[in-house]
């Protein structure tokens, strides 16, 4: 299996965590989506990471569709560790939160953080590169506090974000936070429930590969790879 991804795309990180929890080890193919590589556009006309490709099967594009596909083709094998629960109401809640993090938190916070602080370093002027926009960053950081608070509120009331069991929703939230954490943008002091929950998920062996990623010339924050942050 191949995963077309970018190491600091939160949706790609979500899928890497998913695949690791399923015990799958994909070959990684790095995509810089702003280059609009024709071979990649043929796999996914929308031009966005992540995409998974299995031998003898069509490509599967996008976080939500990949999560559903993995549940349908490998979900039962996970037994009680299944990442989408069996009951319809439980599935609604997991999907609602997964979408909340992958769409709302992404648009309001992690997408601008990654764009301004990481992608722009690699983009040419024509592609939209240059120095970070201070207003975008300020708004993204303010929104991050609000999302951290929501995560803390969920983590206080429940064992995992969507209920009694680890689910896709935890992996989505953690994927987004991990990118912001690399950049040192998460105000961990502000919410101990969110921090305790993140410490638990970050200690899972499936998280380890993400914690070894780095950007040349831009070391991670002190909390990033520290399991006892």
Under rule CB under 8 A, residue 104 binds its own copies: yes
Residue 99 or 221: which CB sits closer to its own copies? Answer: 99
2: contact with its own copies by CB under 8 A? no
Which positions from 188 to 207 touch its own copies by CB under 8 A, shown as an x/- string?
A: --------------------
Angle between the N-to-C axes of helices 134-157 and 168-182, in degrees from 0 to 180, rounded to the nearest 10: 140
Cβ closer to its own copies: 160 or 182?
160
Cβ count within 10 A of residue 170? 28
Residue 44's closest CA among 73, 13, 2? 2
Residue nearer to its own copies on the CB measure, 110 or 183: 110
Provide the 10 A C-beta neighbour count for residue 141.
17
Binding window for its own copies (CB under 8 A); candidates: 89-97, 125-133, 199-207, 218-226: 89-97
What phi-psi label fits residue 58: left (phi over 0), alpha (psi between -120 and 50 degrees) or beta? beta
**Of 56-64, 123-131, 140-148, 183-191, which part binds its own copies (CB under 8 A)?**
56-64
* Of 226, 177, 164, 205, residue with least CA distance to 21: 205
Return d(Cα 141, Cα 119) in angstroms, integer.
17
Per-residue contact flags (x/-) with its own copies for residues 28 to 47, judged by CB under 8 A: -----------------xx-
Tell me which long-range contacts 89-94 makes (C-beta under 8 A, separation of at least 24).
90/162, 90/163, 93/162, 93/163, 93/169, 94/162, 94/163, 94/167, 94/168, 94/169
Per rule CB under 8 A, count of chain residues that contact its own copies = 23
Please answer whether residues 137 and 116 qualify as being in contact, where contact means their C-beta atoms are separated by less than 8 angstroms: yes
List the one residue from 36, 96, 156, 208 that touches its own copies (CB under 8 A): 96
Of the candidate spans 16-24, 62-70, 128-136, 184-192, the one that interacts with its own copies by CB under 8 A turns out to be: 62-70
Q: Which residues sit at the interface with its own copies, rule CB under 8 A?
A: 45-46, 57-58, 60-62, 64-65, 68-69, 72-73, 88-89, 91-93, 95-96, 99-100, 104
């Amino acid at each position: 299996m191949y995963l077309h991804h970018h190491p600091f795309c939160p949706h790609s990180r979500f899928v890497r965590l998913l695949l690791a929890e399923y015990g799958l080890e994909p070959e990684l193919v790095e995509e810089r989506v702003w280059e609009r590589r024709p071979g990649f556009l043929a796999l996914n006309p929308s031009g966005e990471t992540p995409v998974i490709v299995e031998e003898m099967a069509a490509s599967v594009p996008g976080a939500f569709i990949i999560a559903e596909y993995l549940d349908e083709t490998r979900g039962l094998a996970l037994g009680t560790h299944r990442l989408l629960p069996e009951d319809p109401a439980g599935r609604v809640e997991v999907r609602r939160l997964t979408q909340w993090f992958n769409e709302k938190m992404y648009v309001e916070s992690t997408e601008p953080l990654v764009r301004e602080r990481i992608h722009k370093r690699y983009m040419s002027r024509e592609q939209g590169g240059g120095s970070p926009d201070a207003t975008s960053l300020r708004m993204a950081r303010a929104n991050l506090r609000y999302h951290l608070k929501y995560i803390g509120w969920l983590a206080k009331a429940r064992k995992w974000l969507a209920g009694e069991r680890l689910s896709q929703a935890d992996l989505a939230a953690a994927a987004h936070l991990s990118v912001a954490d690399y950049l040192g943008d998460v105000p961990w002091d502000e919410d101990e429930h969110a921090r305790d929950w993140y410490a638990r998920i970050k200690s899972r062996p499936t998280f380890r590969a993400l914690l070894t990623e780095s950007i040349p010339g831009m070391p991670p924050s002190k909390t990033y790879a520290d399991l006892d942050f």
